[in-house]
Amino acid sequence: MNCIHIQASRSYEVLIGNGLLHHMGNIISGLEGGKPSRAVIVSDDQVFALYGAQTAGQLQQAGIAADPFIFPHGEASKCMSVYEMLLETLSGLRLTRSDLLVALGGGVTGDLTGFAAATYQRGIRYVQIPTTLLAAVDSSVGGKTAINLQHGKNQVGCFYQPSIVICDPETLRTLPEEEYRNGMSEVIKYGMIGDEAFLSCLETEDASDWIEDVIRICVMMKRDIVSQDEFDTGKRMLLNFGHTLGHGVESCSHYQIPHGIAVAMGMAAMTRAAERKGICSKGTAERLSKLLACYELPDETPYSPEDLAAAAMADKKKSGDQLRIVVPEAAGHCIIQTIPAAELEAWVRASGKE
């Protein structure tokens, strides 16, 4: 088992190891703040069908009463109405601040649960149990919580750290192939922003053959960034590589294109644009496209520059008439650059494949 300490406003451990789901009741019982008397398991209908009974059983064996909150799977559930239903459920169960929420699932579940935990009674503890690769390597760590609005992704949220992250790579065996590809997009992102050696390993070795180490490396990279910039005002913005255009792709598709697939499109587009503007070393875009293809990820978007730029304008990194974008200078090294927001469409135009 790997144990990675995250130093933040609430410090906590990320546990990574096969079989951890079989021990999560005892792990949760020993959390700082004391053993909760009650926990609500927040999960979508697909994940709960796979792991809900086991999770509830583990909690009950540890002497913790367990209640489920199950919502329809998909990005559409990361919304105000489901968030409100979750809060009403917690209130109806008379949960107190000494109790606990358990986020059992992927990024949608983690974001929704974390935001509810941050706001219910001004803050209740929560545990992240990621069951997707994307959540394991990225969204379960770092404390970003949010729900979507009609006009943009993650427009309502806050920073609120979990009490612990329990990652059991065995849960990844039940992932649909598309969900695995979603996660690999974020894995490749970590290599692109700051670890060329890691990127090289992904090119020569199938990530599925060493997935626990892949998760560990990504979490350690995120740990180092979050410890320096918990609230996303500086270096942490590097983690948004591919996300400005990626969120635009998601919006244009009405969330029919999953997050990871959209981020892959966004990374490839920004790298091509950076090369053509002379910022990025030649050959980087081709190298990235080949790696994305290895993991069956796309490298171009299906939308016009006008539509994509307009959708991306809802991005949270926009400040007044300025926009901060993450730009690669080479494979394994990205920088944060501020541009006039009006120039984003020109960047998108420069990102097209020849």
206, exposed or middle or buried, with CB in 10 Å at 0-12, 13-18, 19+? exposed
Q: Residue with structure tokens 């920073």? A: 159
**Taking each helix axis from N to C terminus, what angle separates 80-92 and 107-119, rounded to the nearest 10 degrees?**
60
Instruction: Tell me the pairing of strands 164-167 and 318-319.
Output: unpaired
Amino acid residing at 36:
P
Contacts of 201 (CB under 8 A, 6+ apart): none
pLDDT at 328: 98
pLDDT at 313: 83
pLDDT at 152: 84
Q: Over its length of 354 residues, how does the chain's per-residue pLDDT go in tens digits?
A: 999 999 999 999 999 999 999 999 999 999 988 999 999 999 999 999 999 999 999 999 999 999 999 999 999 999 999 999 999 999 999 999 999 999 999 999 999 999 999 999 999 999 999 999 999 999 999 999 999 998 888 999 999 999 999 999 999 999 999 999 999 999 999 999 999 999 999 999 999 999 999 999 999 999 999 999 999 999 999 999 999 999 999 999 999 999 999 999 999 999 999 999 999 999 999 999 999 999 999 999 999 999 999 998 876 666 778 999 999 999 999 999 999 999 999 999 999 876
**Taking each helix axis from N to C terminus, what angle separates 196-204 and 284-294, rounded to the nearest 10 degrees?**
40
Amino acid residing at 270:
M
pLDDT at 317: 65
pLDDT at 320: 76
Q: Which helix (H) or strand (E) holds 50?
A: helix 45-61
Alpha-carbon dihedral sign for residues 29, 33, 37, 40: negative
Task: Find residue 344's DSSP bridge partners.
Answer: none
